[in-house]
Amino acid sequence: MPAAVLRDIVSHARRESPRECCGFLVGMPGRVFFAVGTRNVARGRTRYRIDDRAHIALRRTLRRFSPPLEIVGVYHSHPAGDARPSPTDIATAFYPEWTHIIVGMRRTVAVRGYRLSRGRADRVVIQRESEVNI
């Protein structure tokens, strides 16, 4: 994942704090090219939900690209928490092939990636930490 994409995600998280931010990761399997921020339609500060209409609209737009691009993951923030999935994050992960990026902002900003499937959260490498200046 390009460092510029990670910086965009962190910037989105900072703008939306104290609410959780959310968005999509777009690219090809195994590669993220860009992030598409969306509006968090969940109520409260400690949940996120991407608007279903935004999800469908993005899928329709991506069908027009050549070579084809697809949604390969999602991101969201934990403004007062760590960069690890909550039990709710794990329980509501409906696309096991997607990468889930979480921005933790408890003390310092941390960004981590996970695969969430079958009640498990497995870490994935999103980029060497030495390459990112958040």
C-alpha 133/C-alpha 85 separation (Å) is 23
Q: Note the pLDDT tens digit of each residue in 56-75.
A: 999 999 999 888 899 999 99
- To the nearest whole percent, how much of the chain has pLDDT over 90? 83
Looking at 36-95, list the stretches that DSSP marks H as alpha helix, in order from N- to C-terminal side. Answer: 52-62, 87-91
Residue 45 has a pLDDT of: 86
> Could you tell me which residues are beta bridge partners of residue 112?
102
What value does the mean pLDDT take over residues 90-115?
A: 95
C-alpha 115/C-alpha 95 separation (Å) is 9
- To the nearest whole percent, how much of the chain has pLDDT over 70? 95
The pTM (predicted TM-score) of the whole model is 0.91
Q: Note the pLDDT tens digit of each residue in 75-101.
A: 999 999 999 999 999 999 999 999 999
Q: Which amino acid is at 82?
A: D
When pLDDT is cut at 50, 70 and 90, the band that residue 129 belongs to is very low
Domains along the sequence of the chain with CATH: 3-131 (3.40.140.10)
* 44's tokens: 């409260």
Contact 25, 74 (CB under 8 A): yes
When pLDDT is cut at 50, 70 and 90, the band that residue 30 belongs to is confident
Looking at the chain, list the stretches that DSSP marks H as alpha helix, in order from N- to C-terminal side. Answer: 3-16, 52-62, 87-91
125 torsion bin: left (phi>0), alpha (psi -120 to 50), beta (else) = beta
When pLDDT is cut at 50, 70 and 90, the band that residue 131 belongs to is very low
Q: Which amino acid is at 74?
A: V
